[in-house]
Amino acid sequence: MFLEAIHIILPVFIILAAIIAILLKDLLASVIALAAMSLLLSLEFFILHAPDVAIAEAAVGACLTTAIFILAIKATKRNEEEV
């Protein structure tokens, strides 16, 4: 029962974090929301009995891509421009 509830609640939070990452205008906050989505996704992989994929997702998705995005924001502008 508890596991079924987790299986429903975690994807809802993943989708919520992804929508927040799209909607935010501050790109640094958007990158942090993307990292949170990646961490929740790795938790979901762990619950689905795939610890290999969970380790790779946590290391690559939550750490390395966040570092690359933050370096890219540092080289350009922080805020999204209104078109």
- Which residue's entry shows tokens 């924001």? 73
Q: Which of 12, 29, 59, 78 binds other proteins (CB under 8 A)?
A: 59
- 9 binds other proteins, rule: CB under 8 A: no
Residue 56 is a binding residue for other proteins (CB under 8 A): yes
Residues touching other proteins, count (CB under 8 A): 15
Asked if 72 touches other proteins (CB under 8 A), the answer is: yes
26: helix, strand or coil: strand
User: What DSSP state is assigned to residue 76?
Assistant: S
Burial class for 37, CB neighbours closer than 10 Å (0-12, 13-18, 19+) = buried
**Which residues lie near other proteins (CB under 8 A)?**
51-52, 55-56, 59-60, 63-64, 67-68, 70-72, 74-75
